[in-house]
Amino acid sequence: MTDEKARMLNGDPYDASDPELAVERERARDLTARYNDTAAGEDGTRRELLADLFGSVGENVAVEPPLRCDYGYNVHVGDGFYANFDCVLLDVRRIEIGRNCLIGPGTHVYTATHPIDPRERSEGLESGEPVTIGDDVWIGGKAVINPGVTVGDGSVIASGAVVVEDVPAGVVVGGNPATVVRELDGGE
């Protein structure tokens, strides 16, 4: 493993042009292109491709193509995971998604981030922060989950929400930036 990859995985600033990282991104592009070219009903092929791409895949997982990711191996999804069309997972750090999670179309989950200072940004270094999504979470279409966010079990992210802070368990959040809209009862 190169120093740059180790820095990336540790959340330290790293150079994404590192040759090992470039090869790994190309591998992910190849696997997602093959996945996105599958036809409806090719569930076995899709499962095999996801198992090759993602770090771990639970049982009864379905992802509607097209799917995009940076590396794939930093994505971990639990049993009963479902992602609708056009899901983007920028996984320079770990993306952990629990059991029975549903992701709406056009949803993006980002772990990659860049320096705020323009001088630092011009140096080309980037970094990342992990994202954790608990069990039984529903994320509406076109939502964006930003780096470093944790979403608690049983919560709902409204369509179009931009999540920039942690979401507690058992709530509905919406808006930009997302805020708690209401608390959920255990039966909802």
Which sequence spans correspond to the domains of the chain?
Answer: 3-183
Q: What is the pLDDT of residue 185?
A: 84
Residue 48, burial from CB neighbour count under 10 angstroms (0-12, 13-18, 19+):
middle
Q: What is the pLDDT of residue 186?
A: 64
Q: Label residue 101 left, alpha or beta by phi (over 0 means left) and psi (-120 to 50 means alpha).
A: beta
Q: What is the pLDDT of residue 121?
A: 87
Question: Which amino acid would we find at residue 5?
Answer: K
- In the CATH scheme, what is the code of domain 3-183? 2.160.10.10
Catalytic pick among 27, 99, 108, 114: 114
State yes or no: cis peptide before 168, omega within 30 of 0: no
Q: What is the pLDDT of residue 120?
A: 87
Instruction: Cite the beta strand spans of the chain per DSSP E.
Output: 14-15, 56-57, 62-63, 67-69, 75-77, 82-83, 87-90, 95-97, 102-103, 108-110, 112-113, 125-128, 131-133, 138-139, 144-145, 150-151, 156-157, 162-163, 171-174, 179-183
Q: What is the pLDDT of residue 170?
A: 98
- Short-list 7, 9, 182, 175, CA closest to 94: 9
**Residue 114 falls in the annotated catalytic set:** yes
Q: Output the pTM of the full model.
A: 0.95
For the chain, residues with pLDDT lower than 70 are: 186-188
Q: What is the pLDDT of residue 1?
A: 74
